[in-house]
Amino acid sequence: MTLPLITTKSEEIFAAAQKIMPGGVNSPVRAFKSVGGQPIVFDRVKGAYVWDVDGNQYIDYVGSWGPAICGHTHPDVINALKEALEKGTSFGAPCVLENVLAEMVIDAVPSIEMVRFVNSGTEACLSVLRLMRAFTGRDKLIKFEGCYHGHGDMFLVKAGSGVATLGLPDSPGVPKSVTSSTLTAPYNDLEAVKHLFNENPGEIAGVILEPIVGNAGFIPPDAGFLEGLRVLTKENGALLVFDEVMTGFRIAYGGVQEKFGVTPDLTTLGKVIGGGLPVGAYGGRRDIMSMVAPAGPMYQAGTLSGNPLAMTAGIKTLELLQKPGTYEYLDKITKKLSEGLLQIAKETGHAACGGQISGMFGLFFTQGPVHNYEDAKKSDLAKFSRFHRGMLERGIYLAPSQFEAGFTSLAHTDEDIEKTLAAAREVMSSW
Ligand code: PMP
Q: Please state the atom number of ligand 1 nearest to the C-alpha of residue 27.
A: 14
SS3 75: helix
pLDDT of 169: 63
Of 29, 123, 245, the one to substitute when testing ligand 1's pocket (max ligand atoms within 8 A of C-beta) is 245
Catalytic residue among 33, 140, 158, 271: 271
CB 147 within 8 A of CB 260: no
The tens digit of pLDDT for each residue in 270-320 reads 999 999 999 999 999 999 999 999 999 999 999 999 999 999 999 999 999
Of 127, 241, 246, the one to substitute when testing ligand 1's pocket (max ligand atoms within 8 A of C-beta) is 246
The tens digit of pLDDT for each residue in 135-161 reads 999 999 999 999 999 999 999 988 887
- Give yes or no for residue 167 having a pLDDT over 70: no
Shortest-distance Cα residue to atom 12 of ligand 1:
121
Cα of 149 from ligand 1 centre, angstroms:
6
Count of residues in the chain = 431
pLDDT of 2: 57
Q: Is 271 a catalytic residue?
A: yes
| Torsion sign across C-alpha atoms 316, 317, 318, 321 | positive
The dihedrals phi and psi of 128, each to the nearest 5 degrees, come to -70, -35
CB 129 within 8 A of CB 284: no
The DSSP output letter for 206 is E
Cα of 419 from ligand 1 centre, angstroms:
30
Q: Please state the atom number of ligand 1 nearest to the C-alpha of residue 244.
A: 3
Cα of 209 from ligand 1 centre, angstroms:
12
The tens digit of pLDDT for each residue in 115-134 reads 999 999 999 999 999 999 99
Which residue, among 405, 399, 373, has the nearest Cα to 387 in the 3D structure?
A: 399
pLDDT of 161: 78
Q: Which residues contact 117 (CB under 8 A, 6 or more apart)?
A: 98, 101, 102, 279, 280, 281, 302, 305, 306, 310, 311
Q: Please state the atom number of ligand 1 nearest to the C-alpha of residue 270.
A: 15
Q: Please state the atom number of ligand 1 nearest to the C-alpha of residue 161.
A: 8
- Give yes or no for residue 3 having a pLDDT over 80: no
Cα of 125 from ligand 1 centre, angstroms:
8
Contacts 24+ apart (CB under 8 A), 361-370: 361/218, 361/334, 361/337, 361/405, 361/406, 361/407, 361/408, 362/214, 362/217, 362/218, 362/219, 362/405, 362/406, 363/338, 363/406, 364/217, 364/402, 365/402, 370/217, 370/219
The tens digit of pLDDT for each residue in 102-119 reads 999 999 999 999 999 999
CB 18 within 8 A of CB 365: no
SS3 413: coil
Distance CA 50, CA 362 (A): 20
Q: What is the mean pLDDT of residues 224-230?
A: 98
Q: Please state the atom number of ligand 1 nearest to the C-alpha of residue 123.
A: 16
How many beta carbons lie within 10 A of that of residue 374, not counting itself? 13
Distance CA 259, CA 407 (A): 18
The tens digit of pLDDT for each residue in 314-323 reads 999 999 999 9
Cα of 4 from ligand 1 centre, angstroms:
34
Q: Is 148 a catalytic residue?
A: yes
pLDDT of 431: 87
Q: What is the mean pLDDT of residues 164-178?
A: 80
- Give yes or no for residue 168 having a pLDDT over 70: no
Q: Is 243 a catalytic residue?
A: yes
Cα separations in angstroms, 286 against 1, 106, 134? 53, 11, 14
Nearest-Å Rg of the Cα atoms of the chain is: 21
Catalytic residue among 148, 187, 327, 397: 148
Of 29, 122, 156, 279, the one to substitute when testing ligand 1's pocket (max ligand atoms within 8 A of C-beta) is 122
Cα of 199 from ligand 1 centre, angstroms:
30
Distance CA 387, CA 384 (A): 5
The tens digit of pLDDT for each residue in 73-98 reads 999 999 999 999 999 999 999 999 99
pLDDT of 164: 74
Q: Please state the atom number of ligand 1 nearest to the C-alpha of residue 280.
A: 15
Q: What is the mean pLDDT of residues 168-179?
A: 83
- At 401, the pLDDT band (50, 70, 90 cuts) reads very high
The tens digit of pLDDT for each residue in 35-71 reads 988 999 999 999 999 999 999 999 999 999 999 999 9
User: What is the side-by-side order of every strand in the sheet holding 182-185?
Assistant: 114-118, 280-284, 266-269, 239-243, 204-209, 140-144, 182-185
Q: What percent of the chain has pLDDT over 70?
A: 99
- Give yes or no for residue 266 having a pLDDT over 70: yes
Say what the ipTM of the complex is.
Answer: 0.99
pLDDT of 166: 73
CA dihedral 20, 22, 23, 27 (to 10 degrees): -120
| Binding pocket residue ranges, ligand 1, CB within 6 Å | 65, 120-122, 125, 148-150, 161, 210, 214-215, 243, 245-246, 270, 280
- At 4, the pLDDT band (50, 70, 90 cuts) reads confident
CB hemisphere CA count around 79 (13 angstroms): 3
Q: Work out the angle between the directed axes of helices 225-235 and 190-199 (0-180°, nearest 10).
A: 10
- At 165, the pLDDT band (50, 70, 90 cuts) reads confident
Cα separation of the two ends of the chain:
20
Cα of 150 from ligand 1 centre, angstroms:
5
SS3 238: coil
Shortest-distance Cα residue to atom 14 of ligand 1:
121
The tens digit of pLDDT for each residue in 348-398 reads 999 999 999 999 999 999 999 999 999 999 999 999 999 999 999 999 999
